[in-house]
Amino acid sequence: MTPRKTVQQELTKEMIMDAARDLFSEKGYQHVSMRQIAKELGYSHGALYYHFKNKAELFYALVENHFSMLNTVLDQIMKKEMEPREKLREIFTGFIQFGLTYQSHYEIMFLIKDEEVRNFMNEEPNHTYEKFAKSVYSLCEKNVSIQDVWSIFLSLHGFVTHYCRHVVGYEDVKGLAEAHANFLLRAIL
């Protein structure tokens, strides 16, 4: 019985979130239990509840930053000095790269069906999409419709979703991702 560990090995929110992240990547959100997360950390499951009110709150803490990460990716690309066409390509591959690099994040952000979890995310998805859409739209000038931008998003989403399911990293499909980006570019130019 060791009802409290020494300070150096005390559990933190960050530790829990890191472990949770890893497990989600590996097994998917649905198949990770609080007990598993605790076991991974070498703590009892009860300890998690000291740091997070419940499972949903833990998930929300995780997902909260994921959208701003993606926003940052988009911002950084938009800042670059580059031809519009190249920039578009970068946005497309950048989106895919984000999705496949942070698969568990992506899953939670865009793939989870669970109502309970999704109710935690309010406007983040819309906000991030707005940023994406504005960027794409501004780089295409007038030969593209709002509809088209949405189609592009869905098409990228399809790419990420498929390869998420088969758990490969971005590097494994870099060539395919670029081809996909080119394919989409062809539709709008």
Partner DNA sequence: GATATATTTAACCAGTGGTCAATAAAAGGA
Partner DNA sequence: TCCTTTTATTGACCACTGGTTAAATATATC
Q: How far is CA 40 from the centre of its chain?
A: 22
Does 165 participate in binding a copy of itself (rule CB under 8 A)?
A: yes
Task: Return the closest-CA partner of residue 73 out of 90, 48, 51, 49.
Answer: 90
Judged by CB under 7 A, the chain residues 8 through 27 that form the site for DNA are 9-11
**Side-chain half-sphere of 103: how many Cα atoms within 13 Å?**
21
- Alpha carbon distance 188, 174 (integer Å): 22
Quick note: the x/- pattern for a copy of itself over 58-97, rule CB under 8 A, is: ----------------------------------------
Residue 51 or 157: the one with the smaller Cβ distance to a copy of itself is 157
Q: How far is the CB of 105 from a copy of itself (least distance, A)?
A: 15
Judged by CB under 7 A, the chain residues 24 through 63 that form the site for DNA are 32-36, 38, 42-47, 49-51, 53-56
Does 5 participate in binding DNA (rule CB under 7 A)?
A: yes
Q: How far is the CB of 188 from a copy of itself (least distance, A)?
A: 8
One-letter identity of residue 130: E
Among 36, 71, 101, 155, binds a copy of itself (CB under 8 A): 155
| Only segment of 49-57, 67-75, 132-140, 162-170 that touches a copy of itself (CB under 8 A) | 162-170
Among 65, 127, 162, 169, binds a copy of itself (CB under 8 A): 162
| Only segment of 46-54, 75-83, 84-92, 112-120 that touches a copy of itself (CB under 8 A) | 112-120
List contacts with a copy of itself (CB under 8 A).
Answer: 28, 30-31, 110-114, 147-148, 150-159, 161-162, 164-165, 167, 176, 179-180, 183-184, 186-188
